[in-house]
Structure 1
Amino acid sequence: MRCPLPVLRLARALREYPEAAEFELVADDLAAARDVPAFAGEQGVLAEETGPLRWRIRRALP
């Protein structure tokens, strides 16, 4: 996904699936390497890089 689409889709997923504990995000724009972790941090979720332009997004445990 081209930026800012990865961040926008992650924001939508976090809103639409508040009970989901984990998401996988894959992007094809190098700017996502900066934008996704920054957005995740702002939202209080963890963005674990699992490969080039791939992240496992996890909500912090309560």
Structure 2
Amino acid sequence: MSEIPSKIELDARGLSCPMPLLKLKQQLNCMQIGQWIEVKTTDPGSLRDFAAFTAMVGHIIHEQSEQDNEYLFIIEKRV
């Protein structure tokens, strides 16, 4: 059984579009390939924005969930 890499946490709750995506991009620029980031947002636009961005750039969303109007993403930096 492989170990899940340690995750960096980004709290973007309370921020409106496009700030959660911009904060994610800034953090990814500081990360190494293969590192994972856990992002929490309250902006429903993050669902669309994160999916489009990761598909375009090549990162992987390993988990995406919603609970009590909060969205959680676990993303692996791939490029």
Same fold (TM over 0.5): yes
SS of the residue corresponding to residue 18 of structure 1 reads coil
Please name the residue that 2:51 is paired with: 37
Residues in 1 aligned to 2:75 and 2:57: alpha-carbon distance in whole angstroms: 11
Root mean square deviation of aligned Cα? 2.0
Pick the structure with more helix per residue.
1
Please name the residue that 1:16 is paired with: 30
| TM-score, with structure 2 as normaliser | 0.64
**Deviating 4+ runs (over 3 angstroms):** none
SS of the residue corresponding to residue 33 of structure 1 reads helix
Q: Which segments of 5 or more consecutive residues in structure 1 lack a partner in the other structure? A: none
Q: Which segments of 5 or more consecutive residues in structure 2 lack a partner in the other structure? A: 1-14
Question: After superposition, what is the alpha-carbon deviation per residue over 1:19-62, rounded to whole angstroms, capped at 9, x for unaligned?
Answer: 561001111111111111111112210113332121101123x9
Pick the structure with more strand per residue.
2
Residues in 2 aligned to 1:27 and 1:51: alpha-carbon distance in whole angstroms: 11
Over the matched positions of the two proteins, sequence identity in percent amounts to 25
Which amino acid is 2:31 matched to?
Y
Q: 2:40 aligns with which of 26, 35, 47?
A: 26
For the pair shown, which has the larger CA radius of gyration, 1 or 2? 2
Residues in 2 aligned to 1:49 and 1:2: alpha-carbon distance in whole angstroms: 21
Which amino acid is 2:38 matched to?
E
